[in-house]
Structure 1
Amino acid sequence: MYNMLTGVDLAKKEIQVCVAKSNKIVRNMPMTPTAFSNWLATQKPMTVVFEACATSNYWYQCAREYGHDARLISAKLVSNIRQNQKTDKNDAEAVLQASQLSNVNFISGKSKEQQELQSLVRMHQLSVKHKVAYGNQLCSLLLEAHKYACHVKSSLINF
């Protein structure tokens, strides 16, 4: 267990960082992504908890490369913990609080290889979905023209 625990709310232009030491919040500050990366690089190893979102795997990998214990936590859990209005500051604090629950289940982060494979699988699934949609559209257009050629739909698509 590390001495410091950090809850991070990620956004495109600003990252809110809430740092706790001995279960007491010592800092809750916004940073640019570049400043956050530099800050991670200069800190002693600590536990860094990110709310799971679009960029969380990138930052998870970055924190681990700098020697930190990085973890991802469900956005729904953070939402349930947050006590005040939804602001970046309150979200970062809620990430911190949620990570300290005794029965919290952290989300496993992905490696770069896993992310690349997931991207390929998603692109394949999307291309299959589009292929089916185009075939159905073609069949509909042919039927509207009173052409009953839907049985050859698959051969028309596989070009």
Structure 2
Amino acid sequence: MCAKKTGSIEDLAVVGIDIGKDTFHLVGFDRSGQVVLRKQIKRLALDATFEKLPRCVVGMEACLSAHFVSRRLRDMGFDPRIIPAIYVKPFNKGQKNDYNDAEAIAEAALRPNLRTVTEKSQDQLDLQALHRVRARLVSRRTATINQIRAFLIEQGIAVRSGLRALRNSFEAILEQRRDEISARMRSILIGLYGDWLWLDDRIAAVSTEIEEISRTEENCANIMSIPGIGPVISTAMVAAVGRGDAFDRGRDFAA
């Protein structure tokens, strides 16, 4: 669906993209501020649609797909700008919908002093994904250990705090309290312990991969020269901010 246009698409100065899961909504302004583009496209039609447009500024809110879309458009010759959602909000007008969001993004993208999000490389996204997987696995392991403790408490068996204490005493508890723990509960506990060991292996594998990256990535090596900073923290920082070019001073990064 296209609205009536008073300008020419050839004078396109900026396009705002509201990125959705399956569809994108585009609103474009010409150099005089007139709306010359108002269109909904499928995600797979991104390249075909922008190939027909004049090269210009393209704004989008920071979201899961923003870095991929930004890289694709930059390769095509556009000037993509990823904008934090909080900076787009003041430009929203009327009821919230996809076209109004895209229009607000386009207006925000033209502001000269607006701070944008630094585009992440594929390597950064891969490293960030590794950290997210590791965090999820660690969370699942903690939940599994807590469940084992809870079931043991229900059987009147308390184990002192600490992962190592439970690991070292688990098999002894099952053997010494054989008469107190039912066969079904014993099977449940053994299954949970197996889950724990599997999670340990997965966490170790992901951690090893992160450590290998930290040894080959120059920025990680520089960060690890700071006392107390190891592979996990250094790679997390590089995944989040890259070289830190978005920050004018150390105080901005700390904030």
* Same-fold status (TM-score > 0.5): yes
Once the two structures are superposed, residues 14-68 of structure 1 have per-residue CA deviations (whole angstroms, 9 ceiling, x without a partner) of: 2111112214221121111222221223434321111112221221121112121
Aligned pairs for 1:130-145 (under 5 A) are 130-145=140-155
Offset of residue 93 of structure 1: 0.5
**Map of 1:73 onto structure 2:** 83
- Equivalent in 92, 95, 103 of residue 102 of structure 2: 92
- Whether the aligned pair in 2 keeps the contact of 1:47 and 1:71 (CA below 8 Å) is yes
Q: Does structure 2 retain, via aligned residues, the 8 Å contact 1:139–1:150?
A: no
Larger Rg: 2
Encode CA deviations 1:95-139: one digit per residue, 9 max, x unaligned.
Answer: 011122343111112111111110011101111111112111211
Contact kept, 8 Å, 1:51 with 1:74, in 2: the verdict is: yes
Size of the aligned set, in residue pairs, is 158
Task: Report what 1:105 is aligned to.
Answer: 115
Structure 2 Cα separation of the partners of residues 54 and 14 of structure 1 = 14
In 2, Cα distance between equivalents of 1:128 and 1:69 = 39
Which ranges of structure 2 fall in alignment gaps of 5 or more residues?
Answer: 1-11, 171-192, 198-255
Higher RCO (C-alpha 8 Å, min separation 6): 1
For 2:46, the equivalent position in structure 1 comes to: 36
Which has a greater percent of helix?
2
**Amino acid in structure 1 at the alignment position of 2:17:** V
* Runs of 5+ unmatched residues, structure 1: none
Aligned counterparts of 2:145 and 2:129: Cα–Cα separation in 1:
24
Q: As a proportion of its length, which structure holds more strand?
A: 1
* Structure 2 contact 58–109 (Cα < 8 Å) conserved: no
TM-score, normalisation: structure 1: 0.87
Distance 1:113 1:36 in 2: 23
**Correspondence for 1:19:** 28
TM-score (norm 2): 0.57
Q: Which of residues 128, 136, 139 in structure 2 aligns to 1:126?
A: 136
2:139 aligned partner, one-letter code: K
